[in-house]
């Protein structure tokens, strides 16, 4: 049970695809102009990730090694097209906003990366939890970037006005450079915290050695 | 070999399954998408162009072929189920791409009730202004007997003539076609070219082309009396149609005026030439008519060019680049005028003197 929980938590934080592994960077930069589109893009990617990881894990012993990548891509593309059709049928407004980026999930290297690195080697159950963790990690990262850019760029959050009347929109945050600024600052902050924590752990370990030494 | 076959089969199988699944999915979702687009059209389009209708019902059958470019025809019904109007969807070919619009017509009065632009890809700020109510409101309660022409009964959008014309023309044409298709008899009006403010005066001028007798006094201002030497008389120099003699108050012949034709770039250039007999110089020339290119050859009419000939000796070569300045980018027209004036003036002087 612990393993499964680990899989999920790992994707959310320690190996967060967007902030820690920096893979699948196109959507975090391109569709995060608002929190809602970030959230929906993340959920769509998660859905594709879970479906394709599961199927690939099920089929892993049947797929010959030499053609595994084309087979993975066909499976991923099939699920992406299905999601695209579902979005078009059920939530047309969202579909309009995401536009071209939904079909582009096919080439999101996060999905192919998890298929190749995890799902094709691990049991089905763990592939699902891994996909869930990675997908949710991707989703919160996109939503978070979307929140910052929407708040500073348009003065709203999930469509609701937050900033007062006097707030002048930082237009650049809605434009592509805004995505790079936000992304860079978040990664910087997370690395700072990560390094700090690592140093604390080292210190604690050293102290323990000293204590042990004295006692011994 | 067996391995290769296995790879081919695996990939083939996977893609086949994928294709099949997507096909099923597509068949399942497309009706939903299309139905939603249709409700959108009715809610946002047809209700706007036929505001009095209570419900809309699709019309499938009509007489003959369904008009080309008309995608949907609906009838608007009032609460009692009576048809009060027709709403249809059609597309006009705009400047950038199709302009999809909803049009409502009243078959009783044969008028357009209203139009609404549903989607388009025209240039923002220019063609895109066809969406504005100031433009679309012109079509409200407009009779189908009108020509639907930008410039005559529709005010177009400045700098977006193509988009405006596309919308106006399509609304008129398709409304008539749809009503005829549904069994109403709507006549297509005889469409007259729009009379624009500027050319109003010009047709009057072309009706009565300039002739040499109108410009005689301009060519030879000193003369008191003119006598025609006779039209088409034998022995007259070729291409010279009329010759006038000009006399002063003592009855002395002081000048000659004649009409001749030069072969220009776009066709004949008819001109009137005045000669001062005593000094054997040109008194002046005047272009009567021509069909040269606007803005290029047509500049032979400008005083800058014509004034060069005033007082010019007939013994000059009359060659462009030597003694006459031609018009840039209109060498043929300039050379035709200069050469013809020189040659014919000498021939006419010879002819009259003998």
Q: Does B13 touch chain A (CB under 8 A)?
A: no
Chain-centre distance of CA B50, in angstroms?
A: 34
Residue B138 CA to residue A139 CA, distance in Å, equals 50
Torsion (CA) B294, B298, B303, B305 in degrees, nearest 10: 130
Binning pLDDT at 50, 70 and 90, where does residue B133 land? confident
Cross-chain Cβ contact B18/A75 below 8 Å: yes
Cross-chain Cβ contact B11/A67 below 8 Å: yes
CB pairs under 8 A between A and B: 43
| Candidate ranges A140-154, B55-69, B176-190; pick with highest mean pLDDT | A140-154
User: Is there a contact between A109 and A138 (Cβ–Cβ < 8 Å)?
Assistant: no
Contact residues, chain B, for A90 at CB < 8 Å? 32
Torsion (CA) B102, B106, B111, B117 in degrees, nearest 10: -10
Burial class (CB in 10 A: 0-12, 13-18, 19+), A117: exposed
Q: Please say if the pLDDT value at position A203 is more than 70.
A: yes
Residue B118 CA to residue B139 CA, distance in Å, equals 15
Candidates A66, A71, A85; nearest CB to B29: A85
Domain of residue A193 covers 2-162+169-202
Binning pLDDT at 50, 70 and 90, where does residue B21 land? very high
Q: Please say if the pLDDT value at position B232 is more than 70.
A: no
Cross-chain Cβ contact B29/A89 below 8 Å: yes
- Whether A76 is in a domain gets the answer yes
Q: Which residue of A has its CA nearest to B14?
A: A71
In this predicted model, what pLDDT tens digit does every residue of B140-164 receive, in sequence order?
988 888 888 888 888 888 888 888 9
Residue B351 CA to residue B47 CA, distance in Å, equals 82
The domain total for chain A is 1
Cross-chain Cβ contact B29/A88 below 8 Å: yes
Tell me the CA end-to-end span of chain A in Å, nearest whole number.
38
Candidates A70, A74, A82; nearest CB to B25: A82
Binning pLDDT at 50, 70 and 90, where does residue B241 land? confident
- Whether A108 is in a domain gets the answer yes
Q: Please say if the pLDDT value at position B248 is more than 80.
A: yes
What's the gap in Å between the CA of A117 and the closest CA on chain B? 21
What the block records as the tokens of B261 is 């034709």
Q: Which one-letter DSSP state was computed for residue B274? A: E
Give the containing element (helix H, strand E) for A160: strand A160-161
Helix axes A35-59, A68-90, angle to 10 degrees: 140
> What pLDDT shows up at residue B27?
92
Which residue spans within chain B are E strands per DSSP? 55-58, 70-77, 83-93, 98-106, 111-119, 142-143, 225-228, 240-247, 253-263, 268-276, 281-289
> What pLDDT shows up at residue B205?
44
> What pLDDT shows up at residue A4?
87
**B252: Cβ contacts below 8 Å, ≥ 6 apart:** none
Q: DSSP characters for B152-219? A: TTB---TT-HHHHHHHHHHHHHHHHHHHHHTT---PPPPPPPP--TGGGHHHHHHHS---HHHHHHHH
Q: Please say if the pLDDT value at position B230 is more than 70.
A: no
Cross-chain Cβ contact B18/A86 below 8 Å: no
Which candidate in A62, A72, A82 is best for mutational testing of the B interface (most B CBs within 10 A)? A82
User: Is there a contact between A43 and A106 (Cβ–Cβ < 8 Å)?
Assistant: no
B329: left (phi over 0), alpha (psi -120 to 50) or beta: left
> What pLDDT shows up at residue B121?
84
- Strand-strand pairing, A156-157 and A160-161: antiparallel
Q: DSSP characters for B109-125? A: TTEEEEEEEEE--PPTT
Cross-chain Cβ contact A74/B33 below 8 Å: no
Q: Does B6 touch chain A (CB under 8 A)?
A: yes
Binning pLDDT at 50, 70 and 90, where does residue B168 land? very high
User: Is there a contact between A145 and A182 (Cβ–Cβ < 8 Å)?
Assistant: yes
What's the gap in Å between the CA of A24 and the closest CA on chain B? 24
pTM above 0.80, yes or no: no
> What pLDDT shows up at residue B254?
86
> What pLDDT shows up at residue B200?
44
Burial class (CB in 10 A: 0-12, 13-18, 19+), A101: middle
Contact residues, chain A, for B26 at CB < 8 Å? 85
Cross-chain Cβ contact A64/B10 below 8 Å: yes
Q: Does B27 touch chain A (CB under 8 A)?
A: no
Give the containing element (helix H, strand E) for B6: helix B2-40
- Whether A211 is in a domain gets the answer no
Candidates A64, A70, A81; nearest CB to B22: A81
Binning pLDDT at 50, 70 and 90, where does residue A36 land? confident
Cross-chain Cβ contact A71/B14 below 8 Å: yes
Which candidate in A55, A58, A65, A67 is best for mutational testing of the B interface (most B CBs within 10 A)? A67
In this predicted model, what pLDDT tens digit does every residue of B52-68 receive, in sequence order?
888 888 888 777 788 88
> What pLDDT shows up at residue B199?
47
Q: What percent of chain B has pLDDT over 70?
A: 93
Contact residues, chain B, for A86 at CB < 8 Å? 29
Which position has the token pair 């949710």? A136
Cross-chain Cβ contact B18/A78 below 8 Å: yes
Q: Which residue has the higher pLDDT, B209 or A145?
A: A145
Q: Which residue of B has its CA nearest to A75?
A: B18
Q: Does B10 touch chain A (CB under 8 A)?
A: yes
ipTM field:
0.76
Q: What percent of chain B has pLDDT over 90?
A: 15
Q: Which residue has the higher pLDDT, A74 or B216?
A: A74
């Amino acid at each position: 049970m612990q393993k499964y929980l680990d899989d999920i938590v790992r994707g959310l934080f320690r190996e967060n695809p967007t902030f820690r592994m920096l893979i699948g960077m196109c959507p975090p930069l391109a569709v995060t102009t608002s929190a809602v589109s970030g959230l929906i893009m993340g959920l769509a990617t998660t859905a594709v990730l879970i479906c394709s990881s599961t199927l690939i894990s099920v089929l892993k012993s049947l797929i010959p090694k030499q053609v595994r990548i084309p087979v993975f891509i066909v499976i991923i593309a099939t699920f992406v097209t299905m999601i695209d059709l579902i979005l078009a049928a059920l939530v047309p407004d969202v579909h309009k906003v995401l536009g071209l980026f939904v079909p582009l999930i096919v080439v999101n290297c996060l999905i192919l990366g998890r298929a190749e690195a995890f799902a094709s080697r691990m049991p089905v159950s763990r592939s699902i939890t891994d996909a869930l963790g990675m997908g949710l990690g991707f989703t919160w990262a996109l939503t978070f970037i979307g929140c910052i850019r929407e708040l500073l760029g348009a003065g709203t959050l999930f469509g609701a006005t937050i900033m007062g009347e006097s707030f002048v929109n930082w237009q650049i945050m809605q434009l592509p450079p805004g995505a790079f600024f936000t992304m860079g600052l978040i990664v910087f902050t997370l690395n700072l915290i990560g390094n700090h924590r690592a140093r604390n752990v080292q210190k604690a370990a050293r102290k323990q050695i000293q204590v042990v030494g004295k006692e011994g | 070999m067996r391995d290769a076959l296995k790879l081919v089969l695996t990939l083939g199988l996977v893609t086949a399954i994928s294709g099949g699944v997507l096909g099923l999915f597509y068949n399942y979702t497309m009706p939903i998408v299309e139905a939603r687009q249709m409700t959108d059209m009715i809610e946002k389009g047809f209700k706007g162009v036929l505001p009095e209708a209570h419900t809309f019902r699709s019309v499938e059958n009509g007489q003959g072929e369904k008009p080309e470019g008309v995608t949907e025809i609906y009838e608007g019904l009032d609460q009692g189920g009576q048809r009060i109007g027709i709403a249809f969807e059609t597309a006009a070919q705009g400047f950038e791409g199709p302009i999809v619009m909803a049009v409502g017509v009243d078959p009783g009065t044969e008028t357009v009730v209203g139009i609404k632009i549903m989607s388009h890809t025209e240039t923002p700020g220019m063609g895109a202004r066809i969406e504005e109510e100031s433009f679309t409101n012109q079509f409200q309660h407009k009779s189908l007997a009108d020509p639907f022409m930008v410039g005559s009964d529709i005010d177009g959008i400045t700098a977006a003539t193509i988009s405006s014309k596309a919308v106006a023309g399509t609304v008129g044409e398709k409304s008539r076609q749809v009503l005829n298709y549904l069994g109403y008899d709507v006549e297509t009006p005889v469409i007259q070219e729009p009379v624009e403010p500027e050319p109003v005066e010009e047709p009057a001028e072309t009706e009565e082309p300039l002739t040499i007798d109108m410009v005689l006094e301009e060519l030879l201002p000193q003369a008191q009396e003119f006598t025609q030497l006779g039209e088409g008389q034998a022995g007259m120099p070729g291409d010279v149609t009329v010759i006038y003699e000009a006399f002063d108050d003592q009855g002395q012949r002081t000048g000659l005026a004649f009409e001749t034709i030069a072969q220009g770039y776009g066709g004949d250039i008819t001109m009137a030439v005045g000669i001062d007999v005593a000094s054997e110089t040109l008194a002046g020339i005047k272009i009567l008519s021509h069909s040269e290119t606007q803005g290029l050859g047509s500049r032979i009419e400008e005083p800058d060019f014509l004034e060069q000939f005033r007082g010019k000796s007939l013994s000059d070569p009359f060659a462009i680049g030597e003694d006459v300045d031609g018009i840039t980018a209109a060498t043929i027209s300039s050379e035709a005028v200069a050469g013809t004036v020189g040659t014919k003036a000498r021939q006419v002087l010879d002819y009259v003197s003998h």
